[in-house]
């Protein structure tokens, strides 16, 4: 499974987000590897229309009603999102907020991928019962020559062994070798952004990463 986080990159915004979602769908169909597109909320509905599985990058613990300026799970679900990333190191959540958000999501057919910066945080997130726990060491996010797989293989192994939920890993992933290492150590999949979002030819990079699962 490959989760492509579009972040707020200009290269993955607006019509470019839609093109990227199309790429995700095409590569998934051709390779059989599950690929999830994670655009910004404003691009969500258009990305969903491509037929790609889409998540959002965040939701707030707010239900529908007299609230202004929040992202509700109900709204993004209605727009076609099938899940959300929560607590990403670029959007850290206070523990109480994270708990409230998970309480809103629980009982819904909506997937939650809770991110952790460290093995300790990964273990501390397990009681939230997310669908996925994503381990991403922040120091390698956006790196082009170091990745979670090359620099922290022992931590991947540790997180997979300690946490009883499917584990995703991310940060600096940029090769099929990175993917193979993560999968060999027990990760269910990877999160990736810059290697795809900023690529000259995102489709060719995504196909290379997908090869790591085949
Ligand atoms: O959510 C995935 C992301 O933080 C990893 O970013 O650019 O290192 O692939 P990147």
Q: Give residue limits of the domains in the chain.
A: 2-211
Task: Quote the pLDDT of residue 107.
Answer: 85
CATH number, domain 2-211: 3.20.20.70
The Cα 57–Cα 140 span in angstroms is: 19
**Which ligand 1 atom sits nearest the alpha carbon of residue 171?**
8
Pocket of ligand 1 (CB under 6 A): 5, 88, 136, 141-142, 170-173, 191-195
Task: Name the stretches of the chain with pLDDT < 50.
Answer: none
Check residue 48 and give its pLDDT. Answer: 98
pLDDT at position 214 is: 87
Q: Quick check: 87 and 125 in contact, CB under 8 A?
A: yes
Q: Which residues are catalytic?
A: 88, 136
How many angstroms separate the alpha carbon of residue 174 from the centre of ligand 1? 10
This prediction has a pTM of 0.97
């Amino acid at each position: 499974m490959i989760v492509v986080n579009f972040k707020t990159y200009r290269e993955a915004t607006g019509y470019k987000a839609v093109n990227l979602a199309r790429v995700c769908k095409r590569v998934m169909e051709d390779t059989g590897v599950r690929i999830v597109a994670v655009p910004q909320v404003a691009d969500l509905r258009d990305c969903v229309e491509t037929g790609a599985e889409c998540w959002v990058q965040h939701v707030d613990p707010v239900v529908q009603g007299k609230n202004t300026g929040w992202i509700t799970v109900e709204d993004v679900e209605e727009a076609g999102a099938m899940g959300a990333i929560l607590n990403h190191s670029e959007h850290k959540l206070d523990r109480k907020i994270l708990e409230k958000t998970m309480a809103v999501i629980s009982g819904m057919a909506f997937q939650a991928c809770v991110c952790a910066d460290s093995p300790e945080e990964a273990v501390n997130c397990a009681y939230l019962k997310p669908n996925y726990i994503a381990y991403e060491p922040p120091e390698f996010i956006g790196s082009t020559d170091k990745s979670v797989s090359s620099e922290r293989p022992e931590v991947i192994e540790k997180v997979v062994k300690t946490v009883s939920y499917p584990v995703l890993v991310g940060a600096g992933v940029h090769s099929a070798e990175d993917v193979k290492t993560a999968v060999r150590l027990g990760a269910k999949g990877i999160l990736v952004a810059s290697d795809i979002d900023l690529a000259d030819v995102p489709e060719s990079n995504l196909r290379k990463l997908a090869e790591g699962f085949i």
